[in-house]
């Protein structure tokens, strides 16, 4: 066991590899896209998706699944475009309330041993309903500071020859780093992951499983909120079901990034890369001039190819 097994290594670099291959393909189709401005345009929408993916990853770490994250992000978008804009205190309270509801759901799922899929599926309708109550027709306006933040252009770095790192890339690095340090490097992070790997062992060692679950659902609510804020900063106006697709995109991102549905095996860096891959796949298909009607299907095909590759790698690892 001294050397890292080749299968493990392949699995670890697969997310980055798929992103790189897609980038090369995009370059081949349209060389001008590989520039700071091109990156800015292609990856802008990756920021909210990456945040939603991290939120989903928190829930998947403790062997649950959040089917309400898309609706919740939509709810946050509607709150941000209305209350947060008009009465900031009320808006802030509503956002904090959202996180508290998530923590409560975690406690409920743990204490009553409910299947998270059912609970969160139900919650998705609650969030959607709340969002429509807050903003019945598309509209609203994003708070100025959010729009400004999302339009931020980092200054050129002098010692790298004036290279400009596009904001979405910078944001992705920061998101991945924060999540990685929090979950993979801190001591409590190892308990959180352990509670997905072998809950009984964690409980026997005297840790509270209720606390780990509430923590993870609370973090999911927090990152989901950030996703909503990032999204409204980009779109400038809101609509209740603006983030409907985020639920499945976020799950796909986690799995694409090397995570597993059960067993507490997740990778924050991989998840962010997975989210970027999914976003880039959309641009790639646009460059391919595939009609929009077919794009979602083609995006699914890319997903299936990458996951099939992973299944093959896993099979390489098994028969020892």
In the complex, which residues of this chain contact another protein (CB under 8 A)?
A: 1-2, 5, 8, 185, 187, 190-191, 193-194, 196-198, 200-202, 204-207, 263-265
- Which residue lies nearer to another protein by CB, 63 or 277? 63
Provide the token pair at 266: 């997740």
CB of 136 to another protein, least distance (A): 43
Q: Is residue 37 within 8 Å of 169, Cβ to Cβ?
A: no
CB of 206 to another protein, least distance (A): 5
- Which residue lies nearer to another protein by CB, 62 or 219? 62
- Which residue lies nearer to another protein by CB, 35 or 186? 186
CB of 181 to another protein, least distance (A): 12
Q: Which 8-state DSSP code applies to residue 282?
A: H
CB of 64 to another protein, least distance (A): 15
Nearby residues of 135 by Cβ (< 8 Å), 6 or more positions away: 78, 81, 82, 238, 239, 240
- Which residue lies nearer to another protein by CB, 160 or 205? 205
Nearby residues of 189 by Cβ (< 8 Å), 6 or more positions away: 182, 183
161: left (phi over 0), alpha (psi -120 to 50) or beta: left
The Cα-based distances of 73 to 48, 138, 226, 238 in angstroms read 9, 15, 9, 11
- Which residue lies nearer to another protein by CB, 213 or 247? 213
Nearby residues of 5 by Cβ (< 8 Å), 6 or more positions away: 317
- Which residue lies nearer to another protein by CB, 2 or 137? 2
CB of 315 to another protein, least distance (A): 16
CB of 108 to another protein, least distance (A): 24
- Which residue lies nearer to another protein by CB, 56 or 124? 56
d(CA 210, CA 220) in angstroms, rounded, equals 15
CB of 194 to another protein, least distance (A): 4
The Cα-based distances of 13 to 94, 135, 159, 270 in angstroms read 40, 43, 29, 9
- Which residue lies nearer to another protein by CB, 118 or 305? 118
Q: How many CB atoms lie within 10 A of CB 19?
A: 20
Provide the token pair at 92: 């802030």
d(CA 74, CA 80) in angstroms, rounded, equals 10
Residue that the structure tokens 């409590």 belong to: 188
CB of 6 to another protein, least distance (A): 13
């Amino acid at each position: 066991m001294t050397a890292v097994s080749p299968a493990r290594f392949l699995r670890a670099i697969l997310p980055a590899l798929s992103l790189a291959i897609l980038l090369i393909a995009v370059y081949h189709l349209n060389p001008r896209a590989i520039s700071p401005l091109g990156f800015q345009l292609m990856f802008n929408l990756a920021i909210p998706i990456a945040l939603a993916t991290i939120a989903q990853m928190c829930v998947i770490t403790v062997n649950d699944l959040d089917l309400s994250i898309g609706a919740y992000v939509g709810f946050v978008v509607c709150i941000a475009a209305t209350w947060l804009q008009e009465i900031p205190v009320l808006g802030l309270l509503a956002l904090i309330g959202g996180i508290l509801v998530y923590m409560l759901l975690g406690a409920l799922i743990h204490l009553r041993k409910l299947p998270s899929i059912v609970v969160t599926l139900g919650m998705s309708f609650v969030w959607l309903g709340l969002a429509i109550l807050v903003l019945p027709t598309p509209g609203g306006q994003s708070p100025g500071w959010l729009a400004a933040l999302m339009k931020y252009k980092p200054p050129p770095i002098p010692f790298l020859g004036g290279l400009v790192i596009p904001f979405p890339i910078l944001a992705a690095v920061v998101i991945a780093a924060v999540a990685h340090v929090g979950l993979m490097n801190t001591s409590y992070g190892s308990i959180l992951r352990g509670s997905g790997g072998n809950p009984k062992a964690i409980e026997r060692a005297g840790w509270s499983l209720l606390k780990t679950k509430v923590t993870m659902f609370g973090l999911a609510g927090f990152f989901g909120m950030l996703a909503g804020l990032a999204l409204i900063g980009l779109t400038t106006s809101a609509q209740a079901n603006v983030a409907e697709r985020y639920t499945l995109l976020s799950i796909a991102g986690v799995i694409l990034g090397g995570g597993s549905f059960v067993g507490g095996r997740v990778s924050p860096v991989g998840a962010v890369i997975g989210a970027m891959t999914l976003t880039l796949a959309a641009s790639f298909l646009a460059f391919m001039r595939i009609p929009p009607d077919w794009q979602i299907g083609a995006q699914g095909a890319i997903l299936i190819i990458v996951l099939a590759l992973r299944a093959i790698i896993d099979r390489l690892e098994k028969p020892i």
